[in-house]
Structure 1
Amino acid sequence: MSFSQRHPYLFWQLVGWGLTLVDFAFLVVAALNDFSEWSYPIIVFTFIAALFAIIGSPFFVYWSRRSRLPQTSSETESRVIRNDITSILMLRKKTYATMMCIAMVALVIGLAYVTYMLGEYGHILLGFVSMVFMIVIPFIACERYLAFVRKRFLVVKDAAQFVRMRDAYYLSDLRSTRMPILPLPNEPSDAMLDFLYNWLRRYLMSSQLTLISATYADLRRIGIVLASNDTAEDGQEMNSSLIAIPKHQLDLSGANRAQFDKECRALGAFDLPTGSQTTDIRVGNLA
C-alpha cells in the first residue's frame, strides 16, 4: 500500500503546501525579474490548486470514505464495485452523466462569478469563503450523486443469499462452455455478490444465481496463462480470484446478447479459447 493510500490527509497537505511554496518562489522570482502579465495566470491557478489540496482534499477524502460500500473486504474491492456500477449504468444510459456534468460546470462558473464579484467590491473574507465553496461543493455534490446512483442500482438488498458459489467443477469444461470469466481483486465478499446479482438480475431466468469460483493457478493447470498489466511479474496473481458466469441461467435472446457482451467487456470479463493449446491471455488492471 502506497503512502498516499495509508495517509491520504497528510499526503494532500504535503502536496498543497509544496505547491504553495513553489507558487511563492515563482511570485518572488517574477517580481524581481519583472515578468510580464503571462506570469499572473500561473500564480493564480497554482494558488487555486494548492488551496484545493489544503482545504478541499479533507472534504473529498472524507466523503470518498463515506461512500465505501459496506461489507467489502478491502478498499480496492469497494473501488472496483463503485467503478463497475458506474460503467454498467453508463452502458444502460441511466446515469444522466451529461446533465450532471453540465450542472457541475454551471455550479463552478456561478461560484467563480460570485467569488470575482465579492473580490471586486472588497469583500475579501467572503470572497475567500466563496472560493473554498467553489472548490469543495462540486466534488461533494458529484460524490453524493454517484452514491445515490449506486444505491438505486443495488435494488435487491442482501442479494448474496440468492447466490450459490461452486468450486467443484471440471475446469476443462470452462473452455467448451464459453463462460465469461471476471477477475476480482480478492475473494468475493457479500458486497461483491450483491453487486454481481444486481448486475445479472436483468438477465436471470430465475431468482437464483450460480457462480463458479476459480483462481489463476486453476486455469494454468488447464493450459491458460493469464498475465495482468501490474502483477504478471511478481507472481502475486496466482491465488487471485476469478468468477465464471454460467450462461445457461441467463436470458440472452435478442438485444440482451449484445448488451451483456458490452457489459462484460466494460467489467474486464473474458472468454477462454476453445482450443487445447496453451494460451496466454492478458487482462487489464483491477484498480
Structure 2
Amino acid sequence: MPLTTTGELITRAARRRTAVPAFNIITLEHIEAVVSGAETAGAPVVLQVSENAVKFRGGRLCPLARAAVTAAEQAGVPVALHLDHVQSESLLRQAPEAGFSSVMYDAARLPYAENLTATRAAADWAHAQGLWIEAELGQIGGKDGRPPLDAHAPGARTDPAEARDFVERTGVDALAVAIGSTHAMTTRTAALDHALLERLCAGLAVPLVLHGSSGVPDDALVEAVAGGIGKVNVGTALNAALTGAVREHLGRHPDAVDPRAYLAVGRTAMAGEVARIIRVLDGASSS
C-alpha cells in the first residue's frame, strides 16, 4: 500500500487511545522483520532510521531509505518512514527526497537556550517541507556550575514548565520526554515516573514520545501509553533478538558459512519481537 505519514498514524492511534510503535532499522533484515511483525499483528508501524545507522552505512541515507520505502509500498499494513536523532543539518535536509514524512531533530545535548533556537530553526524548515517534527527535552543542568544532563542519562527528567515553554516557542509536533527510560538497555528494568508523565501530558498539547522503550517492562509500557505516550521507540530489543538467534544458530552449527541461514533465524526472531511489542501496546487501548 502507499507509504503513509507518521503524523497520520499518530492521529489515528490517539483516537484509539494507543501509541504508534516505531522500530529502528539498521539492515534489510530489520526492515523485513518489522514489516512482517506488523503484518502478523495487523497494525501500522513506523520504520526509523537513526543518524547512527546512516553513519554505519558509510554516511549514505538513500540505500537503506529506498529499501524501506519499497518494503512499505509492498506491505499489507500502513508503514511510515521516520528519520531519528538527527543532529546533522545536511542529513536533515535529505529527509524529504529520501521518502521520510517525519524527523526527530536532536539538540537535547545543548543548553536550553541553544536547544530552543536550533530546534525552532529546524521546525521552521521541516514544516516548510511538509515534514512532521519531533524534538527532545530532558533535564537541563548548567545550574551551580553543573553541565547539561543528557536526556537519556540516568536520573534525567523533563521539567513540565520548561517543556511547555519549549513546545510553544519551537512549534514542534511532538516531544520526546525523559521519564526514566534510557537508550540501549538490555534489561527491562527501567522505572518510569508515571506521575511526571501525567503532569507533562496535562500541560502539553502535542503527542509525547517514549525513547528507550526496550528497557521498559510490559506493564509499565501499557501504563505509559494509557497515561499519554503517543509514540513508542524500540531499537535494542530487535538487536538483542537478532543477535541472540544468530548466536544460538552458530553455536549449533559452528561450521556454517552461508549468512542466509543465520540471518533468516535472526530476522524471524526480530519479527516475533515486533509482533509481541505491538500486541503489548494494543493492550493499552483496552485497559
| Greater Cα radius of gyration, structure 1 or 2 | 1
Please report the TM-score for the alignment, with normalisation by the length of structure 2: 0.22
Please report the TM-score for the alignment, with normalisation by the length of structure 1: 0.22
Higher strand proportion, which one?
Answer: 2
